[in-house]
Structures are given as C-alpha cells and as structure tokens.
Homo-oligomer: A and B are copies of this chain.
Amino acid sequence: MPRLVDHEQRRREITTAARRVIAHGGLDAATFQTVAAEAGMSVRLIQYYFGTKREFLVATFLAVVAEAGQRFEGPLAAMGANPTPREVIRTILTAVLPLDPQRHEDALVLAAFHAAALTGGVVGPEDTIGPARYLFPIFAQQLRIHRSLESSTPAEELDAQLLVLGGSGITQVVLTGNNTPDQALELLDRLLDRFLSV
C-alpha cells in the first residue's frame, strides 16, 4: 500500500494531525507519538516522512501559512484589476482572523508557534517571522496607492506593520473568547478606518 500513496497527501495528513494536536495542547504537546496517534499512523511512518521533530513542526507551520494564503488568493483574484487598497488589506486580514472553526484552529497553531519561539527550543523567531515579513511590503504598497504616493515613506512601512500587528491582536482576543467573530470584524473595520482614512 505505501508505495501507491501519494507522498504529498501523506505529508498533509501528518501536518493536519499535528495542527489538531498543537491547537489543543500547544507545541510541547506535539511529539512523534501524539501526532502518530492523532493521524492513526505508526511513529515509524511519521519518522519516514519527517526525520526530526523540528522538520514536522516547520512543515506544520508552513501548511497553516500556505492555507491562509490560498484563502485570500481566490477573493483577491476575483476583485479584478483595480481593487481598492482597503479591500485588499481587509481580504488578507480576514483570511487569518479566527472567524470559523478552521481559521480558529489555525490561529491557535500560529499562537502556539509564537509562544514556543519566545522560550526558544526546537523553533525560534526566525522560523515564524516569515508570514508577517511577507505582508509588510504588500500592505505598505496598498497604503501608498491609497495615499497616492509615488515612493515609499517611513510612515507606510510603520502603518503596514501596525496593521499586521493589529490583525494579530484582534485574533488573540477572539482566541481567548473575550471577543466574538462579529466583534473582531467590527474592530478590524475600525482599524482600517484609522489607517485608510486619510
């Protein structure tokens, strides 16, 4: 059977199981044993696809990030040639807000990676900063379009970072249960008002 199974499919099954384990128990809960149990596979099979714990953790992080990207790529493409900067930024940020069970689980996984990066160990900040770094220039560019600026100024760089951090902050208060998804969207729209009003 194994040689007929698509390798990418198998790896995805493993990272999907790892996501569930991490969402419930944090990064410390994810071991070859717990992920194997969650995936209904043997530890040896997990080890065959991912040689080290670090390898399956990084793959799990990247799987969450890739799905978040897929979540906003479709809507962005559907907007046509000239979407408003506000629409672009809002579409990207809502793709990562925990507004449904899957995004909630994904946000818990990303929060667990952030927490683990703070105490050091198998993963560090250099493993988890990628997605934010990817968004900064996109948001800065949208802000320049909105403000009819020809070239980059420090203000747009700062605002781009603050929008990403704001989205992350809104995510956290939904994860703790202190805000509902509807309240999160209200906060997001207010955040966009403040950064895209002038």
Residues of chain A whose beta carbon lies under 8 Å from any beta carbon of chain B: 24-26, 28-29, 108, 111-112, 114-115, 117-119, 125, 128-129, 132, 155, 158-159, 161-162, 164-166, 168-170, 172-173, 175-178, 186-187, 190-191, 194-195, 197-198
Do residues A190 and B169 form an inter-chain contact, with CB atoms below 8 A?
A: no
Copies of this chain in the oligomer: 2
Residues of B within 8 A of A198 (CB): 197
* Smallest Cβ-Cβ distance to A170: which chain B residue: B165
* Smallest Cβ-Cβ distance to A190: which chain B residue: B158
* Smallest Cβ-Cβ distance to A177: which chain B residue: B125
Q: Known contacts A112-B115, A115-B111, A119-B24; is A191 also within 8 Å of B176 by CB?
A: no
- Complexed CA–CA distance, A117 and B155 (Å): 35
